[in-house]
Amino acid sequence: MRRNRKPLVMLTLSALFSFVACANITVNIYFPEKDVKSAYKSLEEELLQPTPKKEKEETPAQSPTSGLRQGRQSLLTMVRALRITLVAEALAQDDLSRRITEEIKGYPEVVAAYRGVGQRLARLNQLRDQGLVGEANDGKAALRASPPQVGDAEAALLREENRDREVIISGMAKAILKLTRQEGTPANLARIRTQASETFASIRRDAAHPGWWVQLPNGTWARK
């Protein structure tokens, strides 16, 4: 009986160590999906624009003299309301999302990639409207027609688009590891990058127009 006990104990300990090792991997990899989505959207709103939005140069006409007192009171009321709103937003703002956004804006290659995506956005939308290109679940744009019904120019555009998307997703993974203070090992970077690409793809699905092809997380293609 004692002879059989030792192998059994060793087997139990081995299984326990394996479980602990797997648990450590799960705990050590942290992916803030909500913050990443918010950061992606903020970056797109700011960097996909071909040129900075111009501020209005015209100033509103001044109120008549008889209404200055009323206008002053209304202005004070608006200022008070604005202060309350700003304080509430500052308290509610996700700090990690903001820090991710600012960190990535410091990566010149990622900023250039966003500019490239913005420049070809109109043409890519045309291809998606025609059902020739869809949004894959790995964050890339994919040809849907079989055989592909696009010319060399469109095929080249798609390759450039996916190269830029890879730069954006890699930049996001790099920023997440840095700001969450996780070890930047190749294994960790690969895991975070996979999740960053899936989150990027989910945003593309959400933003897809009715009739566009999208690939669901389970791999199924469908028209939105």
Write down the pLDDT at residue 86. 47
The number of CA neighbours under 13 Å toward the Cβ of 103 is 21
- Rounded Cα–Cα distance for residues 45 and 53 (Å): 11
State yes or no: cis peptide before 147, omega within 30 of 0.
yes
98-146: pLDDT as tens digits: 999 999 999 999 999 999 999 999 999 999 999 999 999 999 999 997 7
* DSSP letter assigned to residue 209: P
Write down the pLDDT at residue 96. 96
Is 60 exceeded by the pLDDT of residue 72? Answer: no
**How many independent structural domains does the chain possess?**
1
7-26 burial by CB neighbour count: b if 16+ within 10 A, else e?
A: eeeeeeeeeeeeeeeeeeee
- Rounded Cα–Cα distance for residues 126 and 124 (Å): 5
Lowest mean pLDDT segment, chosen from 62-71, 92-101, 152-161, 203-212: 62-71
Residue among 96, 104, 111, 107 nearest 181 (CA): 96
Asked, for residue 118, whether it belongs to a domain, the answer is yes
Asked, for residue 54, whether it belongs to a domain, the answer is no
- Domain, as residue range, for 76: 32-48+72-223
Asked, for residue 22, whether it belongs to a domain, the answer is no
Report which of residues 66 and 39 the model is more confident about.
Answer: 39
Write down the pLDDT at residue 26. 46
Asked, for residue 62, whether it belongs to a domain, the answer is no
Asked, for residue 160, whether it belongs to a domain, the answer is yes
Write down the pLDDT at residue 20. 45
Asked, for residue 162, whether it belongs to a domain, the answer is yes
Write down the pLDDT at residue 91. 41
Residue 156 in 3-state DSSP?
helix
Phi first, then psi: give them for residue 145, nearest 5 degrees: -70, 140
Is 60 exceeded by the pLDDT of residue 196? Answer: yes
Query: Mean pLDDT of all residues in the chain?
Result: 81
Asked, for residue 26, whether it belongs to a domain, the answer is no
155-178: pLDDT as tens digits: 999 999 999 999 999 999 999 999
Write down the pLDDT at residue 59. 44
Write down the pLDDT at residue 58. 46
For helices 186-207 and 152-179, the axis angle rounded to 10 degrees is 120
* pLDDT above 70: percentage of residues in the chain: 67
1-28: pLDDT as tens digits: 555 555 555 655 565 555 544 444 444 6
Write down the pLDDT at residue 177. 96
Is 70 exceeded by the pLDDT of residue 204? Answer: yes
Is 60 exceeded by the pLDDT of residue 74? Answer: no
CB 143 within 8 A of CB 194: no
